[in-house]
């Protein structure tokens, strides 16, 4: 069966009637207002044999246990559906991890909001599945210069915007646009008290205004630190960054024809990572993070490989450094992809994922200097284990 897609979105903006601790910078940053709403944006794709739903969540991240709860809820009603729940990593949404409460000893998670969030995600998925219709696909990629920088390793830079647009097969009229860009949504920086999805808000709105179709966005290998390189930390600059990316995406489709997709290919791999990080261990002991460390000292997480024609999308369970992101896209292209992208923070948020050769845990993790990312990483094996997972997923695909 040719490709069918469906789209739906649900509001996940937290109510300010209860305290909302904004995640991503320091503790006790409380939301004062809503600048732009947060959403769960669900794109369902089906070919008669395989059904995959990707969801873009305007959140700092969502742990695997919470993702699994949503997945089980959806499968109980919809059957065998593959869910990819990927956070946009906005630094101006509610704490859904537990590290950004009133102080370093208190979680910022609101259990009432979390239940509402999980119900809303499941509802968005169900609605998207109910809207399936035939679609063709056009894909492109474009280098967008000057909007992002790597604050850790300036010479290692990924500026590739990956663009997918689903269209009506008969008229090529857009049905949905899907964009992936490797940069933290943090133009607004740490003094902002307003709920926002940062530059992603204007990027999506600009695309939607021109195409008349919904737009969802994900982040790629944004670790290390791929951060905005704009003129200031304000909403005008966040809007300008989003508009630059939107224009680049729309221009990239200009001479690209929509083509049928006869088959969706999806595979996943659950794997283990040793977890020696003393700060994470302290957070577990203090009740800020859930304890999913097994008797061998490892946590379980997952990676996925999704193929739509010659566009291959590899999902990673955290914040991948661009050095690895660039390597992974090269590996995907060498294996047969024409367009290749990494989708970060999918079905988990394990923190930063670094190449082992550049991993140096600081002597004082409370004053890490140039090695902050290591203090917010599961450990040195996070990178090698993920690389092994990608290698195995590619191998499986070649033998099918």
Expressed in percent and rounded to 5, the helix, strand and coil fractions of the chain are 30, 30, 40
If we measure between CA atoms, which residue out of 211, 223, 217 comes closest to residue 245? 217
User: pLDDT at position 1, please?
Assistant: 78
Residues 336-345 have pLDDT tens digits of 999 999 999 9
The tens place of each residue's pLDDT in the chain, 400 residues long, gives 789 999 999 999 999 999 999 999 999 999 999 999 999 999 999 999 999 999 999 999 999 999 999 999 999 988 889 999 999 999 999 999 999 999 999 999 999 999 999 999 999 999 999 999 999 999 999 999 999 999 999 999 999 999 999 999 998 899 999 999 999 999 999 999 999 999 999 999 999 999 999 999 999 999 989 999 999 999 999 999 999 999 999 999 999 999 999 889 999 999 999 999 999 999 999 999 999 999 999 999 999 999 999 999 999 999 999 999 999 999 999 999 999 999 999 999 999 999 999 999 999 999 998 899 999 999 999 999 999 999 999 999 887 6
β-partners of residue 56 are 41, 86
Alpha-carbon distance of 144 to 51, in angstroms, equals 32
Residues 6+ apart with CB under 8 A from 346: 84, 85, 86, 304, 315, 316, 317
Alpha helix (H) residue ranges in the chain = 64-78, 111-129, 199-211, 235-252, 278-285, 322-335, 372-375, 382-399
Alpha carbon 12 to its chain's center: 16
If we measure between CA atoms, which residue out of 233, 222, 234 comes closest to residue 152? 222
Residues 6+ apart with CB under 8 A from 303: 268, 269, 271, 314, 315, 316, 317, 386, 389, 390, 393
Alpha-carbon distance of 313 to 319, in angstroms, equals 16
Instruction: Show me where the domains of the chain are located.
Output: 4-129, 136-260, 265-399
If we measure between CA atoms, which residue out of 78, 75, 84 comes closest to residue 42? 84
CB 127 within 8 A of CB 42: yes
Residues 276-286 have pLDDT tens digits of 999 999 999 99
Residues 6+ apart with CB under 8 A from 170: none
């Amino acid at each position: 069966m040719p490709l069918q897609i469906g789209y739906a979105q649900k509001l996940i903006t937290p109510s300010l009637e209860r305290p909302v601790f904004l995640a991503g910078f320091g503790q006790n940053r409380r939301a004062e207002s809503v600048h732009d709403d947060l959403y769960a944006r669900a794109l369902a794709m089906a070919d008669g044999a395989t059904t995959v739903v990707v969801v873009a969540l305007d959140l700092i991240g969502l742990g695997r246990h919470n993702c699994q709860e949503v997945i089980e809820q959806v499968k109980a009603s919809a059957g065998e559906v593959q869910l990819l729940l990927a956070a946009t990593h906005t630094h101006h949404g509610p704490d859904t991890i537990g590290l950004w409460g009133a102080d370093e000893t208190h979680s910022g998670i609101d259990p009432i909001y979390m239940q509402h969030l999980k119900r809303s995600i499941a509802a968005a998925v169900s609605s998207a599945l109910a809207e399936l219709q035939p679609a063709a696909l056009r894909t492109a990629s474009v280098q967008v210069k000057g909007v992002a920088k790597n604050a850790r390793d300036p010479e290692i830079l990924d500026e590739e915007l990956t663009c997918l647009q689903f269209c009506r097969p008969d008229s090529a009229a857009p049905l949905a646009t899907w964009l992936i860009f490797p940069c933290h949504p943090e133009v607004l920086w740490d003094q902002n008290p307003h709920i926002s999805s940062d530059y992603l808000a204007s990027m999506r709105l600009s695309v939607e205004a021109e195409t008349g179709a919904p737009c969802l966005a994900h982040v790629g290998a944004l670790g290390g630190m791929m951060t905005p390189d704009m003129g200031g930390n304000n909403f005008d600059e966040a809007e300008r960054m989003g508009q630059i990316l939107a224009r680049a995406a729309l221009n990239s489709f200009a001479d690209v024809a929509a083509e049928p997709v006869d088959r969706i290919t999806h595979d996943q791999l659950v794997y283990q990572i040793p977890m020696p990080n003393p700060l994470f261990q302290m957070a577990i002991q203090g009740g800020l993070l859930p304890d999913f460390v097994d008797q061998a000292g490892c946590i379980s997480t997952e990676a996925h490989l999704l193929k739509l024609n010659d566009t291959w999308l590899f999902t990673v369970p955290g914040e991948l450094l661009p050095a690895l992101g660039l390597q992974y896209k090269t590996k995907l292209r060498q294996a047969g992809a024409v367009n290749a992208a990494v989708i970060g923070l999918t079905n988990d948020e394990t923190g930063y994922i670094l190449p082992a050769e550049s991993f140096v845990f600081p002597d004082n993790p409370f004053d890490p200097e140039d090695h902050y990312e290591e203090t917010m990483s599961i450990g040195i094996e996070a990178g090698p284990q993920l690389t092994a997972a990608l290698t195995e997923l590619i191998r499986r695909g070649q033998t099918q």
